[in-house]
Chain A
Amino acid sequence: EIVLTQSPGTLSLSPGERATLSCRASQSVRSTYLAWYQQKPGQAPRLLIYGASSRATGIPDRFSGSGSGTDFTLTISRLEPEDFAVYYCQQYGGSPFTFGPGTKVDIK
């Protein structure tokens, strides 16, 4: 099973600032099968990025993903008020599909 770790656990930033979230895998993720999701309290997760760097439909271009192998990054170029949430990475290159523990982005 591929174990994902995310850092930092919490990121305290102000609107307009840049957010950089990290996801590290215990072994190489096949074919960059890595996704990022946003989840707000009481809501289902929303897909932001798939294939490590492809934005899902309707996702603003301030969200970008990069990385390969075992190290992946989600960048939010300029935080908007609606971006304060929890972000999860997921690998779907090997069964079982696994998620990271999440990074909470909160308002400083």
Chain B
Amino acid sequence: QVQLVQSGAEVKKPGASVKVSCKASGYTFTSYAMHWVRQAPGQRLEWMGWINPDNGNTKYSQMFQGRVSITRDTSASTAYMELRSLTSEDTAVYFCAREFWGSHDPWGQGTLVTVSS
């Protein structure tokens, strides 16, 4: 079955960077875009951007432009999301999600990123 497995929880200091991985299985990795969405405590879901794994093209939300990079390793069927210059407001659960007719299905299990001094 289609499955997305993300890397484990991270604790970072303000100003640092974090890189979260998302390993896909059960389908052809290069055939579907991969999105990244985050959810801060008690907040709504927030779309960050997506990558076309076939050609590496990306599109980012303006809110994160310049601070986020989404990349992929097709040989490992894995997508990555790197967020730089972290502040406490970046404390959130980060999800990857495969594109499905424009929407997102399925989702990874989520990765908690805590930013604290």
A binds B: yes
Give the B-binding residues of A (Cβ under 8 A).
Answer: 33, 35, 37, 44-47, 50-51, 54, 56-57, 88, 90, 92-93, 95-102
Q: With contacts defined as CB atoms under 8 Å apart, how many contacts are there between chain A and chain B in the complex?
A: 63
Q: How far is the CB of A28 from chain B (nearest CB, A)?
A: 16
User: Is B105 in contact with A88, judged by CB distance below 8 angstroms?
Assistant: no
User: Is A44 in contact with B109, judged by CB distance below 8 angstroms?
Assistant: yes
- What A residues does B44 contact at CB under 8 A? 88, 99-102
Q: How large is the interface on B (under 10, 10 to 19, 20 to 34, 35 or more residues)?
A: 20 to 34
A90 to B46, alpha carbons, bound, how many Å?
A: 10
- What A residues does B61 contact at CB under 8 A? 95-96
Closest 8 A/B residue pairs (Cβ): A44-B107, A47-B105, A35-B103, A96-B61, A50-B103, A99-B45, A97-B47, A92-B102
User: Is A98 in contact with B100, judged by CB distance below 8 angstroms?
Assistant: no
Query: Which residue of chain B lies nearest to A100 when distances are taken between CB atoms in the complex?
Result: B44
User: Is B101 in contact with A50, judged by CB distance below 8 angstroms?
Assistant: yes
- What B residues does A44 contact at CB under 8 A? 95, 97, 106-110
What are the interface flags for B60-101 relative to A under an 8 Å C-beta threshold, 1 for contact and 0 otherwise?
011100000000000000000000000000000001010011
A/B interface sample: 17 pairs, CB < 8 A: A33-B102, A44-B97, A44-B106, A44-B107, A45-B95, A45-B104, A47-B103, A47-B104, A50-B100, A50-B102, A51-B103, A56-B100, A88-B45, A90-B103, A96-B61, A99-B46, A102-B44
Contact partner, A51, options B63, B101, B108, Cβ 8 Å: B101
- What A residues does B13 contact at CB under 8 A? none
- What A residues does B95 contact at CB under 8 A? 44-45
User: Is A90 in contact with B63, judged by CB distance below 8 angstroms?
Assistant: no
- What B residues does A50 contact at CB under 8 A? 100-103, 105
Contact partner, A92, options B62, B103, B108, Cβ 8 Å: B103
Contact partner, A35, options B62, B63, B104, Cβ 8 Å: B104
- What B residues does A97 contact at CB under 8 A? 35, 47
- What A residues does B46 contact at CB under 8 A? 99
